[in-house]
A and B are shown apart, each in its own frame.
Chain A
């Protein structure tokens, strides 16, 4: 059945951005509620997509084809499977909630929401396109609004953070472009269609590029491109800066959605298309995952800035995703994608909570608070919950996905997994220590009149809290969505490995 749901979901925000650009800038409420309405509608559509999605099948569904540039065999090809469906839901959900987090943006609100909606469209496009060229266009289109959103509405060091983010990610993208073109010209007939590329996987292992195995060279090119987005150590240095300087809602989107694009790229392109190279690179990937887990956690432990702490915790959490997918076992793979979704919701909560505190205290120095649980009990309660979810306490979704990643990785990378457990302890360490310093002990007299969290802020947080809790108790619905696609992927990569005698 041909329908255009995915195109509608993707281009709805573009339409919204145009509408917002036409509203006079004095009509602030209309602009905000307009953005909320557009993203709300998008969320409803995303839920509807998930509803009609047949998750028992690993096939790509809701396909849309349109010959875009026939001369180069470039197609406008959209479609979703069990890998992209959770990401589409996550993007729609966080975009909607981030609009409410952006309510207090102080200047040029019109430009802000218009750019925000363009960013939303770019993210949706990345997750629903199945033609590499189209994917690349969306991938890059996202950069521009992000650059402006950080550079204009960010913190004191915003200009530096914005250009650093832009340079890093553009550097990654050009390598992606090279890899993409190499794939195109090695494939016979030339195509950008990801599904066809995946079917012709063996061609790349046999070709030569720069005198080396083409599959491996392309894998490395794509790897760097995606690794910068994840970010994988040592490509992570843009992240703390961008996260800290970005306004709260944009940090939410950065951590919640943008980081997922890196790992999504691996699973969408690198793994299925370059199966041999994936097996060749699995061990290094697992080691990098371990480094991310440990390094991210250690760095978080050392932070005094709460937002930086949360930013580094993202580095650590994304390490579990890498470890899970490098294992190439059904449990690990499912755990990895589930962790992507969970980290999206949990880190979004954490960044929103940091934003709430910063809006009131105008600083984020962990040492500068103390005992404020007495003044703001509701805020303290919600934060406690989010921190527990972040450190992977059983009962929250993060626990399930991290456990799955470990279960999946243990038989394959036993020692790496054992070391990774240290990361969990460290995670608990920095979250609890930060909580203690901010909320417990003597009340810092400066914050006797600290204002309690308001309804709008709670409105953005509660859906995420419910999802985190629900999936922590009953993860099956989400795992059902993804498992058939992912199990199929694991099998395909393994079979290719057996054929190649690896």
Chain B
């Protein structure tokens, strides 16, 4: 690898370099801030992320390339996800400025850690080498541990962090074990060379199955799929609320990216759209494994969510169920399936962040996280109530909201693929009905029951209302626009392959 090659590769690496620069700048900037002005570091971080988003949008990914000896890929798929997680982070930062939990403390590190996490996700969504996958996964995880324990003096937050670390370390141990076996059997850590070795068919399917399941443990933990979900509710409840919102969307989307890139693109079809999605693994029933994982995630997530009375825990379990819906798209794993997952991830980001942000605001104003205490909210704070109702309907997947359109794409992909996935579609849709019950509990609390009309009406501060509208309005119009987002998602299903 010569210097020219490195220089060429770096030209594809501009957004990441920008982000690194901003990260360092925030650290330096924060040195000169006192505790009460450290929020300014957050503003710098936010401004920086907006610049990075612009750079990502402007990046030319029409030709997919592998950079740094194929450690990382730069392709439309990665670009889409980088933009997705960056936008998600911007929204989370916006809400963090308004969070009571983060008031009156030094928050410079908070924003620095968040930016580092974003950088980690950039690597994760473009990693094409076992080493780069592992390192970026750890980068994301360690930052997540730190951020969930950010409220140092709170027991809950400490507990969240420790649980997260223990589960995380365990899963990445298993992941590494799988990686090392894979390396030992194929003689390479480059996933395209691994694919070539697998296609030659010298590895026994049974052994391969064991290896893949081990790797799946590591990835499944990142997306909180059942049965790797046990950390989720406690971490989600204990972490600072904006971080919970963040964890439920951004690292999850990045986790899906690596699952798709690793299992589907590299190991199986090698990104060839004309090849069956699971071609290289066709001597083992890998779809069935993924399908069962999807069913378990949807069903367990939904059924446990039914019993939650705390809104954060409810949303935590429901996020497990949503991971299940997205996994349905991964099972199909053809062009439509992956496009559906990308679209779902984007819509899910809007609605789930929205629901969490309303919950954060309610916690700030009325000091409660219990769904029961949302009583008469629809009358006490009419605007907030309507917006929350929109998020709840969208999360359930009712037309005409974006949540419906997203589910529609997933089920369309399943049924289009043919007869074999029809059952999966039935189970998935029935799960949607189950989820109606607990999402409607929030709506019910807000609007139903005996209500004394309050004398004063609560209005959220203008910046929160604007933020919530930015999240809610696209959900309402997703079906009407003929979906520029879905076209964008479809165009993003292009991968770098060697």
- Give me the interface of A with B, judged by CB distance under 8 Å: 68-72, 136-137, 140-141, 143-144, 147-148, 151-152, 158-159, 162-163, 166-167, 170-171, 174-175, 177-178, 181-182, 184-185, 208-211
Q: Indicate which residue in B422, B433, B440 contacts A210 across the interface (CB closer than 8 Å).
A: B422
Closest residue on chain B to residue A172 by CB atoms: B433
A153 shortest CB reach to chain B, Å: 10
Q: Which residues of A contact B447 (CB under 8 A)?
A: 148, 151-152
A209–B486 CA distance with the chains assembled, in angstroms: 28
User: How many angstroms from the CA of A440 to the CA of B495 in the assembled complex?
Assistant: 81
Q: Among the listed B393, B415, B482, which residue makes an inter-chain contact with A181, where contact means beta carbons less than 8 Å apart?
A: B415
How many angstroms from the CA of A175 to the CA of B444 in the assembled complex? 25
CB distance from A77 to the nearest CB of B (A): 15
Output the residue of A68, A141, A151 with the most chain B CB within 10 A. Answer: A151
Identify which of B400, B429, B437, B483 contacts A163 (C-beta below 8 A): B437
Q: How far is the CA of A152 from the CA of B447 in the complex (A)?
A: 7
9 CB < 8 A contacts A-B: A71-B486, A137-B400, A143-B398, A152-B448, A159-B444, A170-B398, A182-B415, A208-B419, A209-B422
Residues of chain A lying within 8 A (CB to CB) of residue B76? none
Tell which of B399, B444, B482 touches A140, judged by Cβ atoms closer than 8 Å: B399
Instruction: Determine the chain A residues whose CB is within 8 A of the CB of B393 once the complex forms.
Output: 144
Query: Which residue of chain A lies nearest to B451 when distances are taken between CB atoms in the complex?
Result: A107
Q: A140-B404, A152-B447, A211-B419 are in contact. List 14 more A-B contacts (CB 8 A).
A: A69-B483, A137-B479, A144-B398, A151-B448, A158-B448, A162-B444, A162-B448, A163-B444, A171-B433, A174-B432, A177-B429, A178-B429, A181-B411, A209-B422
Contacts of B448 in A (CB 8 A): 151-152, 158-159, 162
B415 touches A185 (CB 8 A): yes
Within the complex, the shortest CB–CB distance from B325 to chain A, in Å, comes to 13
Contact call B437/A167, Cβ cutoff below 8 A:
yes
Q: Are A209 and B429 in contact (CB under 8 A)?
A: no
- Contact A69–B482 (Cβ < 8 Å): yes
Which residue of chain A is the closest to B447 with respect to CB atoms?
A152
Closest A-B pairs by Cβ, 10 of them: A174-B429, A140-B399, A181-B415, A151-B448, A137-B399, A171-B433, A159-B448, A69-B482, A170-B433, A185-B416
Best-buried of B400, B404, B448 by chain A (most CB within 10 Å):
B448
Interface residues of B in 388-425 (CB under 8 A from A): 393, 398-400, 404, 408, 411-412, 415-416, 419, 422-423, 425
Closest residue of A by beta carbon distance from B486: A71
**Interface of B toward A, CB cutoff 8 Å:** 393, 398-400, 404, 408, 411-412, 415-416, 419, 422-423, 425-426, 429-430, 432-433, 436-437, 440, 444, 447-449, 479, 482-483, 486-487
- The docked-state distance in angstroms from the alpha carbon of A159 to that of B412 is 33
**Provided the pairs A137-B479, A158-B448, A159-B448 are in contact, do residues A171 and B419 lie with their beta carbons within 8 angstroms?**
no
Interface centre among B399, B432, B437, B479, by most chain A C-beta atoms within 10 angstroms, is: B399
Give the residues in chain B near A208, CB-CB below 8 Å: 419
Question: Per DSSP, are chain A's interface residues mostly helix, strand or loop, or mixed?
Answer: helix
Contact assessment for B399 and A166 in the assembled complex, using a CB-CB cutoff below 8 Å: no
With a cutoff of 8 Å between Cβ atoms, the chain A residues found around residue B412 in the complex are: 72, 181
Given contacts A140-B398, A148-B447, contact A171 B430 (CB under 8 A): yes
A158 and B479 CA atoms in complex are apart in Å by 31
Q: Are A68 and B482 in contact (CB under 8 A)?
A: yes
CB of A14 to closest CB in B, whole Å: 11
Given known contacts A162-B448, A166-B440, A181-B415, A174 and B483 CB-to-CB distance under 8 angstroms:
no
Residues of chain A lying within 8 A (CB to CB) of residue B426: 178
- CB contacts (< 8 Å) of B432 on chain A: these are 170, 174
- Do A210 and B436 have beta carbons less than 8 Å apart? no
Contacts of B482 in A (CB 8 A): 68-71
Residues of chain B within 8 A (CB-CB) of A162 are: 444, 448
Please name the residue on chain A nearest to B487 by beta carbon: A71
- Indicate if the CB atoms of B415 and A163 lie closer than 8 Å: no
Query: Which chain A residues border B436 with CB–CB below 8 Å?
Result: 166-167, 170
CA distance A171 to B461 in the complex (A): 39
B406 to chain A, nearest CB (A): 13
**Which of A148, A178, A208 has the most chain B CB atoms closer than 10 A to its own CB?**
A178
Residue from the list A144, A159, A177, A209 in contact with B419, Cβ < 8 A: A209
Q: How far is the CB of A140 from chain B (nearest CB, A)?
A: 4
Q: CB-nearest residue of chain A relative to B425? A: A178
A395–B448 Cα gap in the complex (Å)?
44
**Chain B residues within an 8 Å CB radius of A177:** 408, 411, 429
Chain B residues in 8 Å Cβ range of A147? 440
Closest to B416 in A: A185
- Residues in B with CB closer than 8 Å to A71 are 482, 486-487
Do A141 and B440 touch across chains, with their CB atoms under 8 A apart? no
B430, closest chain A residue (CB) = A174
State in angstroms the CA–CA spacing of A115 and B378 once bound together: 15
Contacts of A140 in B (CB 8 A): 398-400, 404
Chain B residues near A158 (CB-CB < 8 A)? 448
Please name all residues of chain B whose beta carbon is closer than 8 Å to the beta carbon of A148 when the two chains form the complex.
Answer: 447
Alpha-carbon separation in the docked complex, A178 to B412 (Å):
9
**B residues in contact with A175, CB < 8 Å:** 429
A178 and B415 form a contact (CB under 8 A): yes
> Please, which residues of chain B bring their CB within 8 A of the CB of A69?
482-483
Question: How far, in whole Å, are A175 and B400 apart by their CA atoms in the complex?
Answer: 17
Q: Nearest residue in B to A147 (C-beta to C-beta)? A: B440
Across-interface contacts of B404 in A (CB, < 8 A):
140
